[in-house]
Amino acid sequence: MDALPPADRYVWWLYRYAAGHPDLGLLASVAGVLAALRDPPPDLADMLHDELAIAMAAFDGKRAELALAIARLRPRSPALQLALRSPALREPACAALAHHLDDEEVSRRYLLLLDDQDPGAVTDALAGLGSLRQLRGADSARPRAAERALPGPVLAKVVGLLEHPRPEVVEGALRVLEGRDLPAGLIADVVRLLAHGDKSITASATAFLGGRDLPPELLENIAGLLDHANPSICARARLILETRDLPEDLLEKIAGLLDHANPFAVAGAVAILGGRDLPEDLLEKIAGLLDHPDPAVVWNALSLLEGRDLPGRLLDIVVGHLASTDPLIVWGTLEFLRGQDLSEDLLSRVAGLLGHAMPSIIESALGVLEGRRLSAELLSKVVDMLGHEDPMVTVSAVTVLEGWDLPEEEFSRILRLLRRAHPAATLPAPDTAPDHIPAEFRPRAGRLLGHEDPVVAGHARSVFRWLHPPAIIVGRVIELLERRESAHIPSPVLKAWHMAGVTLREIGRILEDGSAPTVRRTLRLFHGRDLPGDLVTRVISLLGHDDPLVVWSALLVLEGRDLPDSLVTEGTRRLLDAGTSDPGALTRFLNGRTVPAEAAAELIRWMAAAPIVRWPLAVALEWPPGYAARVAAGVRAMAAAKVVLEVAAEFPEDDGAGFRELITDGARRWLNGDAGEGWAEVARAALLDL
């Protein structure tokens, strides 16, 4: 080994390092270094190729990465060619080969895949071409896939697939073509696909067209779909058009849809026209719709005119609709007037609506008057509203009057009106709760703060110290506290508040004897909070709960927390003893944490009870020194056993036997490793099968 060149010695050292760790993805890193050498050691290249093929076939968690590593070593790898025959391995194999289409043999094979009679093979090949974009980030030194031309025959074949009878194939072809420079005729073909009956195709066509500069004739074709009978197609056309600069003649055609019988066409026109700087002649046409017999058309026209600085003649047209008999039109007109400069005469017309029969109209009229200079006569009309039977009208009137220097007689009248409308408001409020608690709830809040049950009192302290929502929410929270259902208080109400350690511990008592739904709701309150150590220990104890939802709720609370080894070991033990022993839960709990030695020993024993099923867990974990090499041997033995005993059977015809024969040497090396008790029995069975 010492006689080898330095580069070869380094890559051999890297290979041995990877062999001593359970993470099979490290093999891909070795392959990357090996492929960069001018003259890589041929024996190491052969060994690594076979081992990568085993790992790719056995471990679905990193198949794309491992297949790509194989292609770096050998673009014409027989393992990848055989993988194209397995439905489970075909897509990652396609993604790997797509990086090597400059190789004549690889390109030929890819064309055969794109022309395959099996739609699944075609979609996998298209997905492989599409994966180029995902595997190269925006910061990559190499060009992105959308900017890098495909070989002419491959591109032509993808374009031809736009006529394929299967929607999933057309969708895949569109994704491959997205972002590429294509002739105008082809883009017109994609526009026609917007009217396709399949939603996935229309969605892909929308994404394809979204970032392109389109000529006026194609924009007009797309606008023609706004009144399509299919609402989904209307929506797709709207999505493409609403963020684009459109010519005035097209905007005028779109405005013609505002009185269309199709409500989706109308909605699309409103969305496209709204927020644009529209020419005055088009605004005048929209204002002309205010005389339409359909109130919905009038409402849409008002919404498009709202917030615009209209010339006087158009403003007069709008204001005239304050006299409408339709409350919706009146309300819409008032909402429009909120942002307009209004003369004294127009303000008087608005104030005339303070006598309207509908409180919502009165509120809106008061909203228009708010913040404006009002005459004494108009102020007097506003003061009259303080005696209105609807409390929201009273609130709106008070808002208008805030900050006004009113005469003494008006103040006296205000007090009389308020006492008549809200007599309870003049009663003294008991000082048993914070001032920001509404008066009608203070006695009940005070009793809860002094409750003999510390859990109830603790909840009350947390709630009432920072509670500032509307009175209706305060009342609901008090009801829940009185019924001792504090865990049912909506999480958004409590989650925003700071809680002291004492309060958290009081809430934490619910974890001990609460029902599963109550425990889950309580755990939500702990997300993102600094928890006392004893409370973290309680959460750890829930990892052994018989309700999986409770277990996962506890895992979310523990995620990202710095735990001592003793608690990591305790949590691991509880998850292993939970009966279901969910590998996903174990992975979630141990992710980002080095497995403590004591927990590592228990995990190895647990995996050895069913190694052919549980070994993938070992790949995802960070093992302590002294355990990594032992676990790595077991992982490799089980990966090889899985390929020999199971994966080969997934290939059609005799391809499985061909794949097994291809990786036999590598499989024997891995199966003869020091896998340990439990693992070794499975390895011996696989060796016999070889």
Residue 439 above 90 pLDDT? Answer: no
Question: How far is 18 from 636, CA to CA, in rounded Å?
Answer: 11
What percent of the chain shows pLDDT beyond 70? 82
User: pLDDT band at 144, cuts 50/70/90?
Assistant: very low
Q: What angle do CA 319, 287, 244 make, to 5 degrees?
A: 130
Q: What is the mean pLDDT of the chain?
A: 81
Q: Tens of pLDDT along 406-422?
A: 666 665 666 556 555 54
Question: How far is 690 from 645, CA to CA, in rounded Å?
Answer: 9
Residue with tokens 């075609």: 122
Residue with tokens 């073909």: 189
Residue 372 confidence (pLDDT):
86
DSSP result, 226-281: TT-SSHHHHHHHHHHHTTS---HHHHHHHHGGGG-S-HHHHHHHHHHHTTS---HH
Mean pLDDT value across residues 603-615: 90
Q: Tens of pLDDT along 386-398?
A: 778 887 787 788 7
Q: Tens of pLDDT along 299-309?
A: 788 778 777 77
Residue 359 above 60 pLDDT? Answer: yes
User: pLDDT band at 341, cuts 50/70/90?
Assistant: confident
User: pLDDT band at 484, cuts 50/70/90?
Assistant: low
Q: What angle do CA 397, 302, 227 make, to 5 degrees?
A: 145
Residue 192 above 50 pLDDT? Answer: yes
- CA–CA distances in Å: residue 33 to residues 5, 23, 41: 15, 17, 12
User: pLDDT band at 26, cuts 50/70/90?
Assistant: very high
Of these ranges, 2-11, 195-204, 350-359, the one predicted with the greatest mean pLDDT is 350-359
Q: Tens of pLDDT along 228-252?
A: 988 889 989 999 998 888 988 998 8
Please indicate, yes or no, whether the overall pTM of this predicted structure exceeds 0.85. Answer: no
Q: Tens of pLDDT along 217-227?
A: 999 999 999 98
User: pLDDT band at 327, cuts 50/70/90?
Assistant: confident
Residue 198 confidence (pLDDT):
83
Query: How many Cβ atoms are within 10 Å of 508's Cβ, its own excluded?
Result: 23
Give the amino acid at 466.
Answer: W
Residue 242 confidence (pLDDT):
87
Residue 126 above 90 pLDDT? Answer: yes
Residue 507 above 50 pLDDT? Answer: yes
- CA–CA distances in Å: residue 658 to residues 43, 53, 66, 69, 388: 21, 13, 20, 21, 88
Residue 310 above 90 pLDDT? Answer: no
Mean pLDDT value across residues 473-493: 55
